[in-house]
Amino acid sequence: MTIQFQCEHCDQPLQVPQMQAGDPIRCPNCRHVGVAPQATESKKEIKKPTTNPFTQDQEVTEVMRRGKANGATLGVDRRRVAFARTSIYGFGALLLCVSVLSFFLGMLSGGGPVTNQDGADLAQMDEVTIRGRVTYPQSDDPEAPDGGAVLLLVPTDWTPGEKMDYETIEPGTGAIDYTAGSVLDLQQGGGIVTRTGSDGRFEFQVPTDMTFYMVILSNNVIRPDSPRREHVTT
Radius of gyration (C-alpha) of the chain in whole angstroms? 44
The burial of 164, by beta-carbon neighbours within 10 Å (0-12 exposed, 13-18 middle, 19 or more buried), is given as middle
CA atoms of 2 and 57, how far apart (whole Å): 12
- Average pLDDT, integer, range 144-154: 89
- Per-residue pLDDT, 125: 67
List Cβ neighbours of 172 (8 Å cut-off, separation of 6 or more): 148, 219
Name which of 26-30, 111-115, 192-196 the model is least confident about.
111-115
Contact 169, 153 (CB under 8 A): no
- 187-219 residue pLDDT tens: 888 888 888 988 989 998 888 888 888 888 888
- Per-residue pLDDT, 46: 52
Name which of 77-86, 108-117, 165-174, 212-221 the model is least confident about.
108-117
Instruction: Record the pTM.
Output: 0.42
